[in-house]
Amino acid sequence: MTTRNHLTSAQIDHYRSGLASAEQAAHIEAHLKNCPQCQQELQFGQQLSQLLAPLPQLAARLPRRSSRTVRWPRVFAAGMATASLALAVFVSVPHLAGSNGAYPGGFDSQSLSPQVADAVQNIEFYQWLSNHPQMLQQGLQNGNPA
């Protein structure tokens, strides 16, 4: 039960907290009467418990930070970064086309296929048609190819 004729810290803590059985408590008390080193460890534990006792009440007094609090500096920084990126894209897109209208990647407005050119010229119609699929069905039923 003892280490080198001394009680272990766990045994002293068990005794101090009242968790030791009556038989264990009697053995520990008998040892504490004759061992100044174990008495000091018991007193240290008691003093430490007394000093730490107010901590739960102090913690309860602290204001709780809500996890839903908006951190405005972060929101502002994210907004500024997004606005800067949008401005950079807006400013640089007109400069992507060269003086002859060619875009990087090798295609220009003259090399488009007739289908793509038609889609670009009539984009509003195709957008309207995508929102009204029943009109496309009626046209196919009447024999008009799409």
Write down the pTM of the prediction.
Answer: 0.38
Query: Which residues, listed in sequence order, are joined to residue 2 by a DSSP beta bridge?
Result: 7
- How far the first Cα of the chain sits from its last, in Å, is 94
Position 2 pLDDT exceeds 50:
no
Q: What tokens does 111 get?
A: 């090399």
Please give the C-alpha separations between residue 66 and each of 55, 62, 71, 74, 78, in angstroms, as whole numbers: 21, 12, 11, 16, 21
Q: Tens digits of per-residue pLDDT, 117-136? A: 777 777 777 777 677 777 66
Give the whole-angstrom CA distance, residue 65 versus residue 49: 28
Q: Tens digits of per-residue pLDDT, 74-95? A: 888 888 889 888 888 877 776 6
